[in-house]
Structure 1
């Protein structure tokens, strides 16, 4: 019997940890403004929001995004589900509803069997089906390493749009999924140990959280993915010109995440996240392990929203701009 293929051995950085570092990305896109005639572009490159949004009329706007990454788990079907849920999350994070998606597949066809690629695509299809989003075709490339994700188009009512720059001082901050998938995935890659709770968290759609946020009148938020909680919180703080205060004791973690961090299973992407946010973060009494967990590169993480949602812990609040943009307490 052939030995099972460990897909994570074909990735330099699994999941959203393979992103270009935030600081480098900001420098890369700086000055690349919208094309001429973009008066109806409601959300573009200004603050690094989760998706682009174009107004169609007074009641409808188009939400467009793309997201793909290297294997985050060894199981091909689960990787497909995780990548699809992560891509769909960008639409949910804007308060929108995904309508149609296209597969984005890079595959080393001379190295890995096409049967595995089919399992990846099947996983993406099944998650899109749960989301009520059509998955129709896409694009594939023969590449040195496997990568998968979706290009997603959805809609949102302009009045319901959730963006990074709409925060107001005094609003609470809620987080809809626990942290820790990054360190658990890094441990999985190193040891082969499987963490079902992490897979369940990554494959859970942010659909219900987005619906609850829109119903609650939330207008400021983002999803927590490759730049970690601290990275995405700092982007929100800068865009809204406020300080984000995080109560570290209230931040939820998956079982085993703290131990994985203590054992050193921290990705290079998470360490780069911490380096990036350090100049404008007041860490208080938080030690290195906790700092790394708060900067842990999440894959298909939850929503971080300015408001209270049923079942989601309040982990902090927005304060008037002070000396620091993010404060741990």
Structure 2
């Protein structure tokens, strides 16, 4: 595509509004051509001041707006599938925030629809793949200088969870990131999931079992353990340590400036994912724009979205039953090989 890429942003909540801001202020080679949200007033407010940007309450109308050449889907997960079909009908490239769909069956339907087109249009927004530290760890593992990976030790902590958060969302909305990161870092699918929980923390909302320990077994014999704690009360932390046969590497310590004074030393802890992964979101969107303008589709595919959904479904079953649960995946279609 020549010239500036016109992007329609579907969903103008926190994530969608952040994408609009990035495209308008930081990403080169693109502009926001249309926004859509069921809340028409919010869509109009967000589009105000963006030259040539139109506001809509209907996805199809936004995709048909003048100048739209690509789509960012940032609406709630249950609305993704229909938005993707609308994009496919117009053969528009899509950056779809996770989840691709909330369930494996929906993701399979999306893959089938994309395969009928005969080419990839979807990139799923697993932004950790664009984080500098995760990229460094991926390169370290791919080099293979320290033998096979045996363990990934992961921590995923939030200050607090929203009022609507549930125990299942610890897996579907939080651990899903570790699921994709583990698959990508190790180059292996997840074969089984076990979920364990200690005593519930005092800060957890009523009815939410928080924290939890999620164990992922890969087809290559590695074990991934994820401590997920979404009401830790002190900060946002995402950490990962890879342990190989003859060495280890760790990311996510997040040391900022360390101060000393009055008998104390310390530094700041990020309080939000938009701070910790700000650069990753910037890089993800910039790379998507560049690839789209060049006629390419890169990054996590619909298959990656499907695999993550299937693992999370097994994780929720393991969470409910306390039993090790296997992950059932369909055969990987050639389009995603």
TM-score of the superposition, structure 1-length normalised? 0.27
Larger RCO (CA under 8 A, 6+ residues apart): 1
With normalisation by structure 2, the TM-score equals 0.26
